[in-house]
């Protein structure tokens, strides 16, 4: 006798039962599917946003960089690297001037099919350059140069034809022109990608004979993957609690059928396996559908994600284990959730099961006490996590979700208690929810989760939107930089006439804003500072820098010249220059000078006026510059308008700047956050309505007999509509209330150290959720419920 | 050796003042090939007697032996195995598994016992064929009439090597014609060597049994051979 044959027979019946009664499990199936889809999408999202060095290293584990204008020296180093470290991929970067512009273009030579770096180069259009007369540009550079595919560009006295558009998919902000061979005789930065041990790298670094030496570095990988999966696992635990309730209801409905199986000789294990296998079937379907839904959602939102993360992350580039783990968790959560009801049902005496006497209702979970306990735990964890302690954050989040879900049975009971004063249809509807509390609470929990997740996402996008006093610039400012595009602390060397020409160009840009003040920005240059690699590569000069130490954290800032005009623009009395040598946005910490001086600097005077990251952060007085024998060079201009700059003015300034060879920076409107906010709003409403629709179908299946009786006693279709609408509206309103309250409470605790970030709630989106869900639930239910139930004489077939 | 033997079996529910005796000191034996009818008013303990005999419930006192094996000595899984291999149960409301076809319903005790699907289905088809249900083998219970469902239930109860057939009001949900047909099937099963016990309210059907046991308030108050009715003249019933 084979145990496999018996298990197969049980599985066969479980599958048949699932197929016959799939509507009865639609809620738990939808819940698990959403959980798998959200976890899978979230894991991929976390993977996309985790900072890593793939953009520079590709699949290599180390990078050797040196700068040289002598091809013979470079060839010697590359040859040595190959003999000592094995496979080496060579990439060169040469900066060339863009005629008529202060900007420079990085001419890069890289093998598109390189062993390590192929993931950092992708062809978007046309072809890769082959000959010395070919060049492929990144889309941004193509636009900047006004050179589409087919056009010609002259750079460094060489005319090349644009043969294609390329990009670095791992860093979309990386602007360059791809050439087949580096320009001869220019100062070129060589990057050698290798896979080698730290010992090999150290030995090679010491032995390399390159003027200026070689820099060897290794990537730093930050992975959010495990953290995201941990959050997903906690979410699955919460979901499995709801699924457990649903499976309990299912098992209660099948008590007689399971009794029959036991009566014909099924063992307890076999009876138990029917429900467990059922749970597994639900889990497998949820895993497959959820993963597919996640992949489709990812594809649909990939352009937004690329815009927000600055890199392209295709679904197939997300590690397979990261996608499959949520699917596996969904299956396990479902099987585990089915285990307890399965065990309970297998223990029901056969005679009792055959008489269709259900299990005693589950003992009151002491919901109120448990909810308060979970709330307290969640509040404490989130409060003391200070947005840094990941462990406390995860525990706190799980506790807050549990607290919201534990509140749902109480909410259903409260609803039933207040049904007395309602008209008969409302009374029937609400009492029905109360009579089937397990199912109603599970439905309400699902609605609460859907609303809570979308509301939290909406509020988080608002919290991450820069307030008017923060961001890169204020809405009234335009920055015209004249520093190196890659390092704002390096300024190209210019003659006096070149600087005058640049000042003239900036004045032309300023004509687009007639009322704006044009404030020149200058950097203090420290001639004694060692030349940085970028300055070495570009022939630029390094700015003097101040270092702030806060605990173990060191931050360096280029020193801008504190001119009276700039101080005035920052709201500081220019007479302060007589008293202070340094001014800083954040003067806390211990300050000292970088490079040769390394002298402590007196506490800078505060510039408590803004937190704009693209503006000068530290200013130094001309007297100090003179004292250190530094120089002052033009580093850009700040255009300050009395009123916010309109989109048309922004466009005009950009166009004019491009014409005179400059680039401008304006306030980042973070449009993608707005799009994400509305995506979450609409998606949240749609998912919530779908969940309500499923819950409604379930409730109506269970109350078919009542509906038949109502019809028999002459209730019009209006009454049936009213009952369905009252049920849907109750679930929608309660779920919305609990979801938004829970989400906001959680975020208030999580952001308790930076509460100001929640000071601008996204009212339009939140109002759409709070009002839209109940109103849409009411109206769609009213207009879609009309069918008369089946004949009262037709007995239900078990 | 009797196929079914009950020795001073009692069954009570509840405790203390709320204690109710469903069966009191019931002893009986059923031999192979014998068909016994159990009669009595509602609440007399008929169904309790059957569920205890079928190992679906435990006796509070006394001993139940099936094929000489004391049920009390068996584990839960041992009793389940006994039900799969030795005891067939027929219920008033059929108790067919709604997700399975007629043949699958009949085959499931064999499959649960580990028999290969093909051989289990072959055995089930043989029984269905015997009961004239071959054409309905692929239908689901809700596609069958009441009489067809009950015949399928009987097929499931006799499939394999069953020794004891228990039927709780097997004709209760059927019209008289179908009720008669079901009784004939029970009778036929007993002719094949199975010991049969059925509960009924219908004296006319009870008269088709070899013996009738009367229950009242959990006690056996009478036990007599069934009287032959006029219909026996129309059949080839070999009963003495």
At B239 the pLDDT is: 47
Two structure tokens written together for A499: 């600087």
Interface residue A629 vs chain B (CB under 8 A): no
Residues 253-292 of chain A with CB under 8 A from chain B are 256-257, 260-270
At A47 the pLDDT is: 75
Nearest residue of A to residue B82 by CA position?
Answer: A265
Sole residue written with tokens 């394999």: B160
Q: With CB atoms and an 8 Å threshold, state whether A1 touches B98.
A: no
Nearest residue of B to residue A15 by CA position?
Answer: B99
On average, the pLDDT of chain B sits at: 86
The confidence band for A393, taking pLDDT boundaries of 50, 70 and 90, is confident
Nearest residue of A to residue B50 by CA position?
Answer: A351
At B122 the pLDDT is: 94
| Model pLDDT for residues A332-363, shown as the tens digit of each residue | 888 888 887 888 888 888 888 887 655 554 44
Query: Residue A303 contacts by C-beta under 8 Å, 6 or more apart in sequence?
Result: none
Q: With CB atoms and an 8 Å threshold, state whether B114 touches A16.
A: no
Smallest Cβ distance to B98: which of A4, A257, A350? A257
Domain ranges of chain A: 1-51+225-356, 54-217, 364-465+677-789, 470-669
Return the higher-pLDDT residue of A270 and B173: A270
Nearest residue of B to residue A258 by CA position?
Answer: B97
CA distance between the termini of chain B: 22
Q: Considering only CA atoms, which of A351, A154, A393 is closest in space to residue A260?
A: A351
CA distance between the termini of chain A: 31
Range from A483-487, A579-583, A637-641, B117-121 carrying the lowest mean pLDDT: A483-487
Nearest residue of B to residue A21 by CA position?
Answer: B99
Task: Collect all residues of chain A within an 8 Å Cβ-Cβ radius of residue B54.
Answer: 263
Residues 11-30 of chain A with CB under 8 A from chain B are 12-13, 16-17, 19-20
Q: With CB atoms and an 8 Å threshold, state whether B113 touches A6.
A: yes
Q: With CB atoms and an 8 Å threshold, state whether A265 touches B77.
A: no
Distance from CA of B17 to the nearest CA of A (A): 22
The confidence band for B231, taking pLDDT boundaries of 50, 70 and 90, is low
Select the highest-mean-pLDDT range: A503-512, A704-713, B92-101: A503-512
Percent of chain B residues past pLDDT 70, beyond the cut: 94
| Model pLDDT for residues A92-105, shown as the tens digit of each residue | 988 887 776 656 78
> DSSP code of A356?
T
Own/partner long-range contacts of A754-757 (Cβ < 8 Å, ≥24 apart): A754/A387, A756/A467, A757/A463, A757/A464, A757/A467
At A208 the pLDDT is: 67
- Best residue in A6, A264, A266 for a mutation probing chain B (most B CBs within 10 Å): A264
Interface residue A790 vs chain B (CB under 8 A): no
Nearest residue of B to residue A260 by CA position?
Answer: B95
Two structure tokens written together for B159: 């499939």
Distance from CA of B93 to the nearest CA of A (A): 10
CATH code of the region B4-234: 3.40.50.300
User: What average pLDDT score do residues A616-636 get?
Assistant: 90
Task: Collect all residues of chain B within an 8 Å Cβ-Cβ radius of residue A17.
Answer: 98-99
Range from A72-81, A369-378, A627-636 carrying the lowest mean pLDDT: A72-81
Give the three-class secondary structure for B1: coil
Q: With CB atoms and an 8 Å threshold, state whether B80 touches A268.
A: yes
Q: With CB atoms and an 8 Å threshold, state whether A3 touches B100.
A: no
Task: Collect all residues of chain A within an 8 Å Cβ-Cβ radius of residue B77.
Answer: 267-269
Domain ranges of chain B: 4-234
Smallest Cβ distance to B114: which of A1, A20, A260? A1
The torsion region of residue A100 among left (phi > 0), alpha (psi -120 to 50) and beta comes to left
């Amino acid at each position: 006798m084979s145990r496999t044959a018996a298990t197969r027979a049980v599985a066969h019946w479980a599958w048949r039962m699932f197929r016959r009664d799939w509507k009865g499990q639609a809620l738990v199936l939808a819940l698990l599917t959403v959980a798998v889809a959200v976890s899978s999408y979230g894991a991929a999202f976390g993977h996309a946003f985790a900072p890593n060095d793939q953009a520079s290293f590709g699949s290599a584990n180390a990078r050797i960089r040196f700068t040289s204008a002598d091809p013979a020296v470079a060839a010697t180093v590359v040859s040595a690297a190959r003999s000592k470290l094995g496979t080496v991929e060579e990439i060169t970067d040469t900066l060339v001037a863009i005629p008529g512009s202060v900007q420079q273009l990085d001419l890069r030579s890289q093998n598109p099919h390189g062993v390590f770096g192929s993931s950092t180069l992708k062809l978007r259009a046309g072809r890769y350059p082959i000959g010395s007369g070919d060049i492929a540009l990144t889309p941004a550079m193509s636009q900047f140069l006004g050179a589409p595919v087919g056009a010609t560009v002259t750079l460094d006295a060489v005319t090349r034809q644009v043969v294609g558009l390329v990009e670095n998919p791992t860093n979309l902000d990386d602007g360059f022109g791809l050439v087949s061979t580096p320009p001869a005789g220019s100062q070129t930065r060589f990057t050698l990608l290798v896979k080698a041990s730290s010992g090999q790298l150290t030995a090679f670094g010491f032995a390399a004979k390159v003027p200026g030496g070689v820099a060897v570095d290794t990537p730093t990988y930050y992975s959010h993957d495990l953290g995201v999966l941990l959050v997903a696992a906690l979410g699955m635990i919460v979901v499995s609690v709801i699924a457990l309730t649903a499976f309990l209801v299912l098992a209660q409905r099948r008590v007689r059928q399971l009794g029959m199986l036991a009566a014909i000789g099924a063992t307890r294990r076999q009876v138990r396996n029917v429900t467990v296998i059922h749970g597994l079937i639900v889990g497998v379907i949820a895993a497959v559908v959820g993963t597919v839904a996640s992949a489709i959602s990812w594809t649909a939102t990939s352009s937004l994600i690329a815009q927000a993360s600055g890199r392209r992350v295709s679904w197939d580039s997300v590690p397979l284990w990261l996608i499959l783990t949520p699917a596996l968790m969904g299956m396990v959560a479902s099987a585990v959730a089915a285990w307890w009801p399965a065990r309970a049902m297998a223990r029901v005496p056969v005679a009792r099961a055959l008489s269709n006497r259900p299990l005693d209702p589950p003992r009151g979970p002491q919901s109120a006490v448990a909810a308060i306990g979970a709330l307290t735990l969640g509040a404490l964890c989130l409060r003391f996590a200070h947005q840094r302690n990941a462990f406390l954050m995860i525990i706190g989040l799980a506790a807050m979700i549990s607290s919201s879900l534990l509140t749902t049975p109480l909410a259903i009971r409260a609803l039933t208690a207040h049904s007395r004063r309602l008209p008969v249809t409302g009374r029937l509807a609400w009492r029905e929810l109360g009579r089937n509390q397990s199912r109603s609470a599970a439905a309400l929990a699902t609605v609460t989760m859907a609303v809570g997740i979308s509301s939290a996402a909406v509020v988080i996008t608002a919290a991450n939107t820069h307030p008017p006093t923060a961001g890169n610039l204020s809405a009234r400012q335009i920055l015209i930089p004249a520093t190196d595009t890659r390092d704002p602390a390096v300024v190209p060397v210019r003659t006096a006439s070149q600087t005058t020409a640049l000042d003239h160009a900036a004045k032309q840009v300023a004509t687009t804003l007639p009322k704006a003040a044009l404030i020149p920005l200058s950097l203090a240059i420290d001639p004694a500072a060692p030349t940085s690699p970028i300055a070495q590569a570009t022939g630029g000069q390094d700015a003097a820098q101040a270092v702030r130490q806060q605990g173990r954290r060191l931050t360096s800032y280029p020193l801008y010249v504190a001119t009276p005009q700039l101080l005035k623009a920052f709201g500081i009395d220019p007479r302060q220059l007589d008293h202070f040598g340094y001014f800083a946005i954040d003067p806390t910490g211990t300050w000292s000078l970088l490079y040769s001086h390394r002298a402590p600097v007196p506490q800078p005077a505060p510039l408590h006026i803004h937190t704009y990251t693209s503006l000068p952060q530290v200013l130094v007085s001309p007297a100090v510059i003179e004292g250190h024998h530094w120089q002052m060079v033009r580093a850009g201009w700040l255009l300050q308008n009395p009123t916010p700059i309109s989109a048309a003015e922004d466009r005009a300034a950009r166009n004019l700047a491009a014409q005179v060879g400059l680039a401008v920076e304006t306030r980042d409107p973070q449009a993608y956050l707005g799009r994400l906010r509305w995506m979450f709003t609409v998606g949240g409403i749609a998912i919530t309505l779908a969940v309500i629709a499923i819950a409604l179908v379930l409730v109506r299946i269970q109350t078919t007999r009542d509906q038949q009786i109502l019809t028999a006693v002459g209730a019009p279709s209006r009454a049936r509509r009213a009952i369905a609408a009252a049920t849907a509206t109750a679930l929608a309103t309660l779920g919305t209330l609990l979801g938004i309250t829970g989400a906001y409470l959680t975020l208030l605790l999580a952001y308790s150290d930076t509460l100001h970030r929640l000071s601008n709630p996204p009212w339009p989106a939140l109002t759409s959720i709070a009002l839209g869900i109940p109103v849409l639930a009411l109206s769609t239910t009213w207009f879609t419920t009309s069918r008369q139930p089946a004949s009262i004489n037709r007995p239900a077939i078990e | 050796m009797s196929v079914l033997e009950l020795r001073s079996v009692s069954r009570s529910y509840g405790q203390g003042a709320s204690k109710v005796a469903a069966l009191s000191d019931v002893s009986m034996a059923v031999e192979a090939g014998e068909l016994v009818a159990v009669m009595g008013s509602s609440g007399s303990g008929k169904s309790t007697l059957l569920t205890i005999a079928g190992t679906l419930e435990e006796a509070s006192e006394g001993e139940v032996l099936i094929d000489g094996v004391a049920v009390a000595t068996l584990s839960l899984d041992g009793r389940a195995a006994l039900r799969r291999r030795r005891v067939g149960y027929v219920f008033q409301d059929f108790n067919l598994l709604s997700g399975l076809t007629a043949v699958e319903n009949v085959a499931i005790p064999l499959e649960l016992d580990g028999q290969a699907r093909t051989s289990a289905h072959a055995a089930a088809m043989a029984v269905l064929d015997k009961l004239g249900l071959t054409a309905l083998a692929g239908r689901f219970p809700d596609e069958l009439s009441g009489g067809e469902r009950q015949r399928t239930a009987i097929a499931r109860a006799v499939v394999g090597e069953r020794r004891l057939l228990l039927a709780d009001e097997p004709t209760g949900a059927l019209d008289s014609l179908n009720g008669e047909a079901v009784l004939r099937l029970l009778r036929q099963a007993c002719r094949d060597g199975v010991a049969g016990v059925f509960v009924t309210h219908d004296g006319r059907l009870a008269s088709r049994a070899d013996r009738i046991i009367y229950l009242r308030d959990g006690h056996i108050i009478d036990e007599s051979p069934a009287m032959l009715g006029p219909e026996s003249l129309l059949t080839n019933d070999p009963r003495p």
